[in-house]
């Protein structure tokens, strides 16, 4: 059931079989599988998964191209709740390993928050990442286009950008390297440093050889209307016309709540085995938080894998949950 | 485009970047990603993927529970064709490794078949498996219920069978072992050998301890109506009432066309790396044919992974496919 501050005491279990941090594609898919394995599950979601911002999903088998990401999440949440899973809008602050269980400290509500501790046997970290965006004086101007034709994922939207004039906004020299795989889809590429960092001669030469343009001025604002970005206005007032943008400024990894647990990372990503188990036997990581490709369909598969492994673990301990009624 | 015997000469490429054998969930997802990577693709499908038979998909994120498997395939095929991928209904007979390319011999049509050879740089084996079914005098009687409440996949449908009286039909002592994980969902289990094999004392003792019933008579027919199986009639005329069935008789692996290529197998499954590459650098295996869980959402993710790795391979060789038009 959907839990609230008021209905917390109606939760189904004092100790959940699995607590899922994050209600995006990976977390919801895990929740659906877990409930169908008859495992008690709580999904804690802070809202606004990365896929929530995707206005058009173009590559998810079974859904028409241009399905909004939020539609997948809405369907998944309703699916999960129909299987009697518990769901709470809240923010996970800290996880403490108690040996057989974890205690999970959660903040509920933004204003006058209350705090609650949940206990669980297994933890699934499905809290994902969120893309860093260019910092402009007017951030609303960025949000007007982000997720429309101001893209954050080359693999998701390279096809949409084919033969277009694309502006790539990076946060470092290495983040601008995405221009080269983008060059598979279009030769018309302008790179923006937003005045924030220097570019080496080596990269300049490579860009010139590829026919790309480098622009090192700060961006004043994106131009456009109806969520379609049509170019950028630079600090000096000059305008560069574009058909699309690709933001490549790195990501924030939502995993602070795991900081007191010793886990293997590769960059900001959690290292897992093929069933998505981390280096801790009772913690799984799924979706964008783990090492691998950041794709909705892969996140959904991750959820299935992690839930199945948790079921196998628990089944080995318990044998059956449906004992015959004594005659 | 959808190719036919008549329109074969209109195919888009003399040598495809990737040829996908099988138009099930894995193959269609691969095709969607490949076309979106601007790679020329041909899917060859013999029809009737395993998921085609699934009357209700209950665990696929983004689709309402009870969506028929064939709806996912229909949507996926239309999605793929909208991206200008080539598609042909035919049967792949043989694949020959020519070094840089494969030649793929295909039979088109059942009556008065014609034969055609296609060439491709990469091959994706997405041809899956199909479940062996009990052989009864009247096979229509089996098809009446298979995919409805005569299930073939414990992970997919264990939840549907919770607390039900379930008949498990095996083809060997080892195939009956599925009864124990099924016991997680229901204690009311009858195992059927269909008179086809002996059961050891060890397994008999384990079944008795679990409270399961063993039936060693041949099955005459399944009983029921409107695709809902309600029991079995045995050879001696006696009837056993059931709420559902689970067929566990092994699978046919559709990979005969690979027989002349040296590949690593585990049982009938192809061994792959995390991007689904087999032991041959230009052959990928996805979905039920590869080692791993047989789930629609995992097959769809497999398609994304294999297509991405093929794109990376080809991109390293070619750099860009969209050169600027000379001024």
| DSSP line for B235-273 | TTS-EEE-SEEEEES-EEE--GGGTTS---EETTEEP--
Instruction: Flag whether A43 is in a domain.
Output: yes
* CA closest to A307 among chain B residues: B155
Query: Which residues of chain B does A158 touch, with a Cβ-Cβ cutoff of 8 Å?
Result: 36-37
CB distance B184–A322 less than 8 Å? yes
The rounded distance, in Å, linking the Cα atoms of B188 and B293 is 26
Interface membership of A109 toward B (CB under 8 Å) = no
Are A43 and A141 found together in one domain?
no
Question: Which stretches within chain B are classed as H helix?
Answer: 25-36, 69-82, 139-143, 154-157, 179-182, 201-210, 296-318
Instruction: Flag whether B326 is in a domain.
Output: no
- The SS3 assignment for A99 reads coil
Instruction: Flag whether B324 is in a domain.
Output: no
Residue carrying structure tokens 């699916």: A79
Strands of A228-234's sheet in order across: A219-225, A228-234, A239-241
| Mean pLDDT, residues B222-237 taken together | 97
Query: Which residues of chain B does A64 touch, with a Cβ-Cβ cutoff of 8 Å?
Result: 75, 79
Among B22, B61, B154, the strongest candidate for a mutation testing the A interface, having the largest count of A CBs within 10 A, is: B61
Q: Are A276 and A290 in contact (CB under 8 A)?
A: yes
Per-residue pLDDT for B326 more than 60?
A: no
Q: Are A40 and A17 in contact (CB under 8 A)?
A: yes
Are B125 and B263 found together in one domain?
yes
Which tokens hold the place of B90? 């035919």
- The SS3 assignment for A307 reads helix
CB distance B295–A315 less than 8 Å? no
pLDDT bucket at B327, cuts 50 / 70 / 90:
very low
Q: What is the pLDDT of residue A163?
A: 96
Task: Write the ipTM.
Answer: 0.96
Are B91 and B63 found together in one domain?
yes
Q: Are B202 and B280 in contact (CB under 8 A)?
A: no
User: What CA–CA distances, in Å, run from B14 to A228, B99, B123?
Assistant: 38, 16, 15
Q: How far is A22 from chain B (nearest CA, A)?
A: 15
Are B255 and B159 found together in one domain?
no
Q: If we measure between CA atoms, which residue out of A58, A45, A10 comes closest to residue A287?
A: A45
Are A17 and A122 found together in one domain?
yes
Provide the CA B16 distance to its chain's centre, in angstroms. 24
The rounded distance, in Å, linking the Cα atoms of B222 and B228 is 10
Q: Are A159 and A186 in contact (CB under 8 A)?
A: no
Give the contacts of B102 (CB within 8 A, at least 6 positions apart): B19, B95, B96, B119, B120, B121, B123, B282
Instruction: Give the structural domain span for B169.
Output: 133-248
The three state secondary structure string of A15-26 is EEEEEEECCCHH
A325: region left, alpha or beta (phi > 0 left; psi from -120 to 50 alpha): beta
Interface membership of A304 toward B (CB under 8 Å) = yes
Residues 87-106 of A with CB under 8 A from B: none
CB distance B159–A186 less than 8 Å? no
Query: Which residues of chain B does A65 touch, with a Cβ-Cβ cutoff of 8 Å?
Result: 79, 82
* Nearest CB partner across the interface for A320, out of B36, B38, B184: B184
Instruction: Flag whether A324 is in a domain.
Output: no
The rounded distance, in Å, linking the Cα atoms of A101 and A122 is 7
Task: Pick the range with the lowest mean pLDDT from B229-243, B294-308, B312-326.
Answer: B312-326
Are B123 and B265 found together in one domain?
yes
Per-residue pLDDT tens listing for chain A (327 residues):
999 888 888 877 789 999 999 999 999 999 999 999 999 999 999 988 787 788 899 999 999 999 999 999 999 999 999 999 999 999 999 999 999 999 999 999 988 999 999 999 999 999 999 999 999 999 999 999 999 999 999 999 999 999 999 999 999 999 999 999 999 999 999 999 999 999 999 999 999 999 999 999 999 999 999 999 999 999 999 999 999 999 999 999 999 999 999 999 999 999 999 999 999 999 999 999 999 999 999 999 999 999 999 999 999 998 777 776 554
* CA closest to A186 among chain B residues: B322
Q: If we measure between CA atoms, which residue out of B310, B288, B292, B309 comes closest to residue B125?
A: B288
Q: How many domains does chain B have?
A: 2
Instruction: Flag whether A290 is in a domain.
Output: yes
Are B185 and B225 found together in one domain?
yes
How many degrees, rounded to 5, is the angle at CA B129 between CA B124 and CA B134?
170
Domain of B156: which CATH number? 3.50.50.60
Are B112 and B23 found together in one domain?
yes
Interface membership of A25 toward B (CB under 8 Å) = yes
The domain boundary residue, chosen from B192, B227, B248 = B248
Residue carrying structure tokens 């090192």: A216
Instruction: Flag whether B161 is in a domain.
Output: yes
Based on its alpha-carbon atoms, the radius of gyration of chain B, rounded to whole angstroms, reads: 22
Residues 209-238 of B with CB under 8 A from A: 210-211
Which tokens hold the place of B175? 């195939």
CB distance B308–A297 less than 8 Å? no
Interface membership of B208 toward A (CB under 8 Å) = no
CB distance A76–B62 less than 8 Å? yes
Are B108 and B11 found together in one domain?
yes
Are B110 and B37 found together in one domain?
yes
The rounded distance, in Å, linking the Cα atoms of B7 and B5 is 6
Q: How far is A132 from chain B (nearest CA, A)?
A: 24
Q: What is the pLDDT of residue A324?
A: 64
Instruction: Flag whether B137 is in a domain.
Output: yes
Are B265 and B239 found together in one domain?
no
Are A139 and A88 found together in one domain?
no
CB distance A297–B298 less than 8 Å? no
* CA closest to B28 among chain A residues: A61
The domain boundary residue, chosen from A212, A227, A248 = A248
Instruction: Flag whether B323 is in a domain.
Output: no
CB distance A324–B188 less than 8 Å? yes
Q: What is the pLDDT of residue A325?
A: 57
| Mean pLDDT, residues B43-54 taken together | 87
| Mean pLDDT, residues B167-179 taken together | 97
* CA closest to A302 among chain B residues: B298
Give the contacts of B317 (CB within 8 A, at least 6 positions apart): none
Per-residue pLDDT for B56 more than 50?
A: yes
The domain boundary residue, chosen from B204, B231, B248 = B248
């Amino acid at each position: 059931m959907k839990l609230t501050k008021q209905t917390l005491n109606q939760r189904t279990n004092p100790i959940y079989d699995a607590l899922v941090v994050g209600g995006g594609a990976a977390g919801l898919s895990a929740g659906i599988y877990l409930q169908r394995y008859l495992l008690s599950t709580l999904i804690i979601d802070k809202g606004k998964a990365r896929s929530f911002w995707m206005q058009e999903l173009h590559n998810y088998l079974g859904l028409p191209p241009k399905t909004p990401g939020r539609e997948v999440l809405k369907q998944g949440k309703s699916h999960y709740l129909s299987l009697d899973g518990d769901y709470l809008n809240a923010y996970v602050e800290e996880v403490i390993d108690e040996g057989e269980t974890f205690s999970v400290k959660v903040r509920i509500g933004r204003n006058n928050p209350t705090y609650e501790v949940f206990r669980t046997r297994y933890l699934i970290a499905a809290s994902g990442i969120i893309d860093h965006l260019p910092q402009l004086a007017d951030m609303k101007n960025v949000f007007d286009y982000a997720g429309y034709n101001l893209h954050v994922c080359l693999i998701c939207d390279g096809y949409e950008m084919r033969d277009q004039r694309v502006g790539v906004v990076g946060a470092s020299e290495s983040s601008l390297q995405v221009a080269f795989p983008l060059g598979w889809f279009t030769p018309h590429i302008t790179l923006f440093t937003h005045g924030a960092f220097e570019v080496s001669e080596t990269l300049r030469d490579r860009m010139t050889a590829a026919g790309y343009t480098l622009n090192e001025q700060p961006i004043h604002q994106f131009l456009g209307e109806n969520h379609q970005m049509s170019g950028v206005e630079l600090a000096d007032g000059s305008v560069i016309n574009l058909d699309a943008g690709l933001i490549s400024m790195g990501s924030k990894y939502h995993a602070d709540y795991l900081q007191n647990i010793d886990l293997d990372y590769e960059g900001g990503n959690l290292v897992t085995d093929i069933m998505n188990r981390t280096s801790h036997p009772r913690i799984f990581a799924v979706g964008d938080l783990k090492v691998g490709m950041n794709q909705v369909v892969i996140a959904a598969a991750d959820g299935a894998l992690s839930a199945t492994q948790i079921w196998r673990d628990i089944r080995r301990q318990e044998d059956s949950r449906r004992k015959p009624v004594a005659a």
